[in-house]
């Protein structure tokens, strides 16, 4: 669930198909936080948008007990940010522009 721009999540201790695949990355990259179901990708997307649109430094704090999934959450955030960066680079190359911000705003 969301608490402002904070997502409180629970480790299901099992794999849930489709929860963190490329389709989920794409879905959350097209929505602002709170528009669709809570997800770690929504938090990562909000940080990414704020970084490029407002030029604000961003920080994601991941907290929890031992075994709660902090390392896995970090990997998922990095997966999302990597996918978004790659997408922005592809748009820039396709449009022959070096302006990454413009590519992000258009996606």
Per the annotation, does 34 bind a ligand? no
18 belongs to an annotated ligand binding site = no
- Residue 70 assigned to a binding site: yes
Does residue 65 have a known ligand-binding role? yes
101: left (phi over 0), alpha (psi -120 to 50) or beta: alpha
Question: In sequence order, what are the residues at sequence separation of 6 or more whose Cβ sits closer than 8 angstroms to the Cβ of residue 11?
Answer: 67, 68, 69, 72
- Cα–Cα nearest to 69, from 27, 37, 40: 40
Would you say 64 is a known binding-site residue? yes
On whether 75 is known to bind a ligand per the annotation, the reply is no
**CA–CA separation, 102 and 23 (whole Å):** 23
Q: How far is CA 49 from CA 28, 61, 67, in A?
A: 12, 17, 30
Annotated binding site: 64-71
Q: Which residues are annotated as a binding site for ATP?
A: 64-71
């Amino acid at each position: 669930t969301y608490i402002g721009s904070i997502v409180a999540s629970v480790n299901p201790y099992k794999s849930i198909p489709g929860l963190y695949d490329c389709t989920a990355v794409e879905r959350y990259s097209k929505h602002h936080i709170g528009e669709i179901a809570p997800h770690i990708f929504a938090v990562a997307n909000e940080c990414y948008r704020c970084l490029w649109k407002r030029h604000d430094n961003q920080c994601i704090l991941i907290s929890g007990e031992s075994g709660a999934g902090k390392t896995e959450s970090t990997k998922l955030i990095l997966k999302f940010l990597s996918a978004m960066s790659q997408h922005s680079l592809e748009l820039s190359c396709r449009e022959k522009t070096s302006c990454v911000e413009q590519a992000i705003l258009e996606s």
